[in-house]
Structures are given as structure tokens and as C-alpha cells.
Amino acid sequence: MRVVSLVPSLTEAVAASGPGLLVGATDWCSHPADLDVARIGGTKNPDTAAVLRLRPDLVVANEEENQPADLERLRAAGVEVLVTEVRGVPQAFAELHRVLVTGCGLTRPRWLDEAEQAWADLPPAGGASAVVPVWRRPWMVLGRDTFAGDVLALLGVRNAYADHAERYPRVPLEELRGCGADLVVLPDEPYRFTATDGPEAFGGLPAALVSGRHLTWYGPSLVTAPRVLGAALAAALR
């Protein structure tokens, strides 16, 4: 089978589970670090002609990360396109099984079972709330119905904007500062927040600088995400 992935999370999942299946991936697919496949552009602007030249048996995509017009163009050319929808951790496990076992014809990988177990063994949830920016200039935060928001909720941190009408609302910094959150969670993607770029905007509010891969990717990183993110959140709340 020849597989092209248009999603970094799924690229890592397929590469870890079926070495040799991937023939193409986006420019943003950074894991595994030694991935040696054709690059076909970004998630929002893939070169569909380049994808077709790779003669894939399957293209894996995501309803949030990829554009419907690009996926329809591939389907019109006769390519099978499997589109995932991931808005929570349980759904991520189900969709990963669908991609790897149903789509790629692989045996269910051990890491997927290990990931499910890691998320089943969590301690009781706490009660902290957080603002979770994903961009600045303008400031954008996690809103309703997001995978990252569910990740945090399972780790005992409630997204302060979980009930917002939008999934990624633009919110003025003054409002973010005054929303009553216990901490600000700053991932290193899609905007690369750092110790000197992000925390200073929130005054004395505790800040947790976290791995975007562990917060927003659904793949092998789910095995260690509870431990890695949990440690970062606990350190910020001490």
C-alpha cells in the first residue's frame, strides 16, 4: 500500500505503525525526525498534482486541518481519501484505529493500546481553569469542542472558554487577563510561545509552557502526553 498523509499527527501514527507505507507527507510533518518521503506542501495548501504523481492507494486527512476542495479534487481523480474528525481523546483513539487498521490494513499497534491505558489511569480531576492561547497578533484561544480542550479537561484543567460559541475565538488581551483563570497554558505550536514570548502578557498569572505535539497531536505522543503535560501543569500551579 502507498499512503500519503496530509496531517502531521497521522503521519507520525502511520510511520510508527507501518514503516514503508508512507510515500508522501506535508512540509509540517516533523515526526518521526528521520522521515524520508516526498513533501507535498502544507496542510491548507497541498500540491494535489504532486500527491497524484505519487500514485497513493490512500490519502489520510482531517476535517479541521485540510480544505474540502483539495480532498474533493483527489477523490475526483480516483484516490481514496479517509477523513478523520477528532474533537476529543476517546474519538482520537477510535479514529486512529480506523486509519491504521481499517484504512491501512495494519494490525492494531501496541502503542495505541498503551496510549488508551495511559489515559485510563489518570488521577481524579482537579478544579483549575486556564486560558489557552494558540496565536497572538491577534490573540486567539481554544474555545468550544476542541481536542486540546478535552486533553486538558482529562488532566484536571478546565478551558476558561470551553463554552464560547466559536472553536478558536479572537479575544482581546484585556478580556483574557480578566476572565478569572488560574493559569495560562502556552503551547509551542501553532504559535511558538516561549518563556520570553507569551507569559509577560499575562502579568503574574502562572504560565505553563507545554509541548504542542503533546497537547494537540493524536498519535504516538498520546502515550506520554498525560505524564509530560501533567508535570508542566502541576509545576505552573505550585
Regarding beta strands 133-135 and 140-141, do their DSSP bridges make them parallel or antiparallel, or are they unpaired? antiparallel
Regarding beta strands 157-159 and 128-131, do their DSSP bridges make them parallel or antiparallel, or are they unpaired? parallel
CB 103 within 8 A of CB 82: yes
Q: Could you give the CA distance from residue 64 to residue 217 in angstroms, rounded to a whole number?
A: 13
Q: Could you give the CA distance from residue 210 to residue 231 in angstroms, rounded to a whole number?
A: 10
CB 233 within 8 A of CB 127: no
Is the dihedral angle over the CA atoms 54, 59, 62, 63 positive or is it negative?
positive
Confidence (pLDDT) at 123: 74
Superfamily for 3-108?
Nitrogenase molybdenum iron protein domain (3.40.50.1980)
All cell numbers assigned to 81: 481519501
Confidence (pLDDT) at 238: 87
DSSP for 104-171, please give it: T-PPPPHHHHHHHHHHHSPPPP--EEEE-EEETTTTEE--SS-HHHHHHHHTTEEETTTT-SSSS-B-
CB 136 within 8 A of CB 198: yes
CATH architecture of 128-237: 3-Layer(aba) Sandwich (3.40)
CB 12 within 8 A of CB 217: yes
Cis peptide preceding 138, ω within 30 of 0: yes
104-160, pLDDT tens digit by residue?
Answer: 999 999 999 999 999 998 876 668 999 999 999 999 999 999 999 999 999 999 999
Confidence (pLDDT) at 125: 64
CA–centroid distance for 142 within its chain: 12
The list of the chain residues with pLDDT below 70 reads 124-126
The reported pTM is 0.94
Q: Report domain extents, the chain.
A: 3-108, 128-237
Alpha-helix residue ranges (DSSP H) falling in the chain: 8-17, 48-53, 68-76, 89-97, 110-120, 147-154, 173-177, 212-216, 225-237
Angle, helix 225-237 to helix 110-120, in steps of 10 degrees: 30
CB-based burial, 155-192: b 16+ in 10 Å, e otherwise: bbbbbbbbebeeebeebeeeebeeeebbbbbbbbbebe
Q: Do 3-108 and 128-237 have matching folds?
A: yes
